[in-house]
Amino acid sequence: MALKRGVMSFSEVLKETVEKVDGAVSAMIIGKDGISVHEYSSENLIDLTGLSAEASAMIRDISLASDNLGLGDAREFSIISDTCGIIFRKINSDYYIALIIKPEGNYGKGRFILKNSVPKIAGEF
């Protein structure tokens, strides 16, 4: 995928996303098939390869639950654990951006920054 002139690269968007959120350590673009498109990490808190492999099942299950409940399209979901929080934001029907944040990180700002990061890369898919 070639980026248009004047558009931020995936690397730039992911790095900026991590840097703008207190406690964020990684961000990645993942296909709904679980294949990582691009990653940025300032600290290795979790295995990003493992996350991308598990993402397809999570995306499928969340989408099915949302449909079954009549909620419409699931645009965002998160997992908060003892080790970290992971916020997934839908880019389009095939791709998501994920942000990995330390337990003490700012999850509200993470959600806000992800929402604002999606338009910067959505046109490239």
Closest CA to 114 of 98, 94, 93, 125: 98
d(Cα 77, Cα 85) in Å, to the nearest integer? 11
Q: Is 23 left (phi over 0), alpha (psi -120 to 50) or beta?
A: left
Computed over every residue of the chain, the mean pLDDT equals 91
Q: Which pLDDT score is estimated for 105?
A: 97
Burial of 81-107, coded b for 16+ CB within 10 Å and e otherwise, reads: eeebbbbbbbbeeebbbbbbbbeebbb
Q: At what angle do helices 10-19 and 107-122 cross, to 10 degrees?
A: 160
Residue 57 sits at φ, ψ, to 5 deg, of -65, -40
- Return the pLDDT at 5: 47
Domains of the chain plus CATH, in order, are: 10-122 (3.30.450.30)
Instruction: Tell whether the model's pLDDT for residue 3 goes beyond 50.
Output: no
pTM of the model: 0.90
Percent share of the chain, pLDDT over 90: 86
**pLDDT one-digit tens code per residue, 16-30:** 999 999 999 999 999
Judged against a pLDDT cut of 70, whether residue 71 lies above it is answered with yes
Does residue 68 surpass a pLDDT of 70?
A: yes
Residues across the chain: 125
Using only the alpha carbons of the chain, give its radius of gyration: 14
Q: How confident is the model at residue 125 (pLDDT cuts 50, 70, 90)?
A: confident
